[in-house]
Amino acid sequence: MTSMRFPKAADTKEMRRNHIIDTATRLIARNGLEGVSVRKVADMAGCSRGLVEHYFRNKAELVVEANRWVNTAYLERVSSLRKLSGLALLEGQLHNLLPFTDEILDEWRVRSIFFNRGSADQQIAKDSNDSFNQVYVEIWDALKYASAHGEIDPSVPVQEASELILLFVIGIAMACLLSERLRERRPLERRVNMILGMLKSGDLSALRVGDPSVEY
């Protein structure tokens, strides 16, 4: 009697490996690191523990890969914005960074876990840091272009503004994890407009866009 095996073999090893990482990522997003085990990952991925162990030396390595997975996911999405520049590029970046979709929301669910893990695991801290650094630089580039082409107020210091935007984005994403209302389209668009408005006018009065949410 032949036992069930993993989806045939036409697809490459790389794909199978990625499929396992993706499965682990989804599990981490929904249940945290406590809710993920080699067995659960294997079951959900439709394979055996042995296969997971074949591709990853141990659970820790799988977890590290899951962290990298969500970080590269964003970078791959924004690579499709290559044709944009300046504020239009920034707006595109924000739409791929803020939890406009369930996919992005899951990415932040995972990142929230690794914010904590970074304190105990140097590798994870480094990977996460590198990733955010990359995002930061990309935002900075967009702002430099925007500033050079008069799209934003010339008094705005682009580097510091880039920091502010990235940290603001992280805060928004974390808040969205706690409140379903905040992750609706309207409030998210409002945040984007707050950022764009501030940059264009160069002052905080531009924060007043649309109807403010009475509740945090």
Q: Which spans of this chain sit near its own copies (rule: CB under 8 A)?
A: 29-34, 109-110, 112-113, 115-120, 125, 128-129, 132-133, 136-137, 153, 155-157, 159-161, 163-164, 166-172, 174-175, 177-179, 194, 198-199, 202-205, 207-209, 212-213, 215-216
Q: Of 70, 75, 136, which Cα lies nearest the Cα of 103? A: 70
Report if residue 30 touches DNA, rule: CB under 7 A.
no
- For the bound state, the minimum distance from the C-beta of residue 207 to its own copies, rounded and expressed in Å, comes to 4
Closer residue to DNA (CB): 6 or 132: 6
Report if residue 13 touches DNA, rule: CB under 7 A.
yes
Q: Of 55-63, 69-77, 103-111, 141-149, which part binds DNA (CB under 7 A)?
A: 55-63
Neighbours of 189 (CB within 10 A): 16
- For the bound state, the minimum distance from the C-beta of residue 112 to DNA, rounded and expressed in Å, comes to 20
Q: Of 40-48, 143-151, 173-181, 193-201, which part binds DNA (CB under 7 A)?
A: 40-48
Contacted entry of DNA, its own copies, none for residue 128, CB cut-off 5 to 8 Å set by kind: its own copies
Neighbours of 200 (CB within 10 A): 15
Task: Assess contact for 87 and 199: CB atoms under 8 A.
Answer: yes
Closer residue to its own copies (CB): 65 or 127: 127
Neighbours of 38 (CB within 10 A): 17
Report if residue 54 touches DNA, rule: CB under 7 A.
yes
Q: How far apart are alpha carbons 33 and 63 in whole angstroms? A: 8
Write phi, then psi, for 45 (nearest 5 degrees). -80, -10
Closer residue to its own copies (CB): 14 or 34: 34
Tokens of 139: 């935002």
Which three-class secondary structure state does DSSP give residue 35? helix
**In what helix (H) or strand (E) does residue 114 lie, and over which residues does it extend?**
helix 102-117
Closer residue to its own copies (CB): 17 or 207: 207
Task: Assess contact for 142 and 93: CB atoms under 8 A.
Answer: yes
